């Protein structure tokens, strides 16, 4: 599996993990999800103000959020030719909002960012958490994937309540 990540970091915005680690996390998730097709992913790291604009534009929610996933294609789409690369879509992350959220959930900023990167990518691969049974599956998968990529102290069980409370992601 080959992954091309097009990373864009808004001027003045600093991600808590570096570009190489972001790409490694995305590759790990795709490998663990057994994606074998070459994929392209657009990854943007933005300010809270820019995130609010994206959230208003794409989700009609006038508020800042942690991550937005904008799906384009899925690797298992039968309409894609066998040798055609998959345009996964766009992930947009707001590290300042994520840093504040890390404090509320007692995680490190880096690990919260890792979690939201995984969370957003799982959305692009078809996972969701609107229903309780879907949330349980997604949470369990996030737990497994986060354990593979976390370099800080282990994180307790992932809870998606942060996304159910305020309508994020």
pLDDT digits (tens, 9 = 90+) for 120-161: 999 999 999 888 888 889 988 998 898 888 865 556 656 554
Tens place of pLDDT for every residue, the chain, 169 residues? 689 999 999 999 999 999 999 999 999 999 999 999 999 999 999 999 999 999 999 999 999 999 999 999 999 898 998 888 999 999 999 999 999 999 888 888 998 999 999 999 999 999 998 888 888 899 889 988 988 888 655 566 565 545 544 444 4
The predicted pLDDT at position 22 comes to: 96
* Domain at 3-166: CATH code: 3.40.390.30
- The structure's pTM equals 0.89
In 3D space, the residue among 68, 94, 118 whose CA is nearest the CA of residue 60 turns out to be: 68
Token pair in block for residue 116: 């939201």
Nearest to 86 by CA among 100, 71, 97, 68: 71
Residue of 168, 146, 42, 153 lying closest to 100 (CA atoms): 168
Predicted local distance difference test score (pLDDT) of residue 168: 44
Q: How far is CA 79 from CA 74, 75, 85, in A?
A: 10, 10, 12
């Amino acid at each position: 599996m080959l992954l091309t990540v097009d990373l864009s970091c808004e001027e003045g915005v600093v991600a808590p993990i570096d570009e190489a680690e972001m790409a490694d996390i995305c590759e790990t998730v795709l490998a663990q999800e057994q994606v074998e097709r070459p994929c392209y992913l657009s990854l943007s790291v933005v300010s809270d103000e820019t995130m609010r604009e994206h959230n208003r534009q794409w989700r009609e929610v006038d508020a800042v959020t942690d991550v937005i996933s904008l799906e384009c294609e899925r690797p298992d789409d039968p309409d894609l030719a066998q040798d055609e690369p998959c345009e996964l879509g766009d992930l947009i992350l707001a590290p300042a909002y994520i840093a504040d959220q890390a404090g509320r959930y007692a995680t490190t900023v880096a690990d919260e960012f890792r979690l939201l990167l995984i969370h957003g990518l799982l959305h692009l691969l078809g996972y969701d958490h609107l229903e309780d049974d879907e949330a349980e599956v997604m949470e369990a998968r996030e737990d497994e994937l986060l354990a593979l990529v976390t370099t800080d102290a282990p994180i307790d069980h992932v809870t998606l309540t942060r996304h159910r409370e305020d309508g994020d992601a």
